[in-house]
Amino acid sequence: MVTRTPFGLLVALFLIGVMQPALAQQRAEKLTPQQAQARQIELLERKLAAMADLVLRVDALQREVQQLRGEIEVQNHAMDALKKRQRDLYLDVDQRINQLAHGSAPTTGMAPPAATPPDAGAVVAAETPPGAPGTDAESGSAPPPAAEPPPVATADTGEVPAPQPALAAPIDTVAEERDYKAAFSLLMQRRYDEARSAFQAFLARYGAGGYADNAQYWLAEASYVTRDFDVALEGFQKVVNEYPNSSKVPDAMLKSSFIHYEKQQWSEARDILQRLVTLYPSSTASRLATQRLDRMQAEGH
């Protein structure tokens, strides 16, 4: 039968074992009270020295932390500036791609000067010999054109021909670019409601401009990132249907397939992805579409 030693007895034995060497050392040294006091003062001085060293180390660590904080603030400021630069570069690249897709020369923030039409009088003078009717024989310049006669009913139908429709006013390209950048900046700042309103106003004003397809795409994107999938799907479909030659069509198709995937509409998502790979095999959207098709296959969809 195993007997157990009480815990208190074990503690007492431990203390005796620890204290015996110290007592033996004290008896061997036979310290006087003054020596014992000096020994205590020496120990206190050592402790104070160790504490002072710790304080110095803490101060040094605090200075390092402050320095690191300053460096972090500088890095954050540099990162913010870099992000702004990236947004500006993205806008510039997006603008240039859009202009190349529409066959126009890149703008530099200034509207190109309108071509000066040739002098009508000079053309008439060149084509009409001197002395011919309608030309001033002495000056060689054409007289001012006569007032256009009112429409007259035709002999066949007796109806007055309808007037020709007036040409649409030219778009202010400088204002168009400015408004597009402002709307896109709102989107980059994640102010999605404001970005939607800005892109809608942009399309209402510049629906026939060179940025209309891009604006429609980003309008749909603003709904996509807020998971308003039905509105976003309709917006991306407008890009595909109304701007078939736009460089945004592959991306719009890709996002449409993502929406069908989120809604667990596997067949619709797969059809769009396969069509995207077939129609735009060299695009970045096609590569992403291939990855999503592989993922769907692995998931059994």
- C-alpha of 144 from chain center: 57
| DSSP-assigned letter for residue 16 | H
Which of 196, 242, 247 lies closest to 221, judged by CA?
Answer: 196
Tokens of 71: 């460096």
- C-alpha of 143 from chain center: 59
Give the model's pLDDT for residue 8. 62
Give the model's pLDDT for residue 233. 94
Instruction: Assign 3-class secondary structure to 54-90.
Output: HHHHHHHHHHHHHHHHHHHHHHHHHHHHHHHHHHHHH
| DSSP-assigned letter for residue 129 | -
Task: Classify the C-alpha dihedral 54-58-59-64 as positive or negative.
Answer: positive
Task: Answer yes or no: are the C-beta atoms of 236 and 213 closer than 8 Å.
Answer: no
Q: What angle do CA 143, 146, 149 make, to 5 degrees?
A: 165
Give the model's pLDDT for residue 71. 60
Instruction: Please tell me the distance from the alpha carbon of residue 55 to that of residue 58, in angstroms, as a whole number.
Output: 5
Q: What angle do CA 49, 55, 59 make, to 5 degrees?
A: 145
The rounded average pLDDT for each run of 10 residues, N- to C-terminus, in the chain (301 residues) is 56 60 59 76 81 79 67 63 73 76 55 43 38 40 47 51 56 85 91 93 90 93 93 95 92 95 93 94 92 91 85
Give the model's pLDDT for residue 139. 40
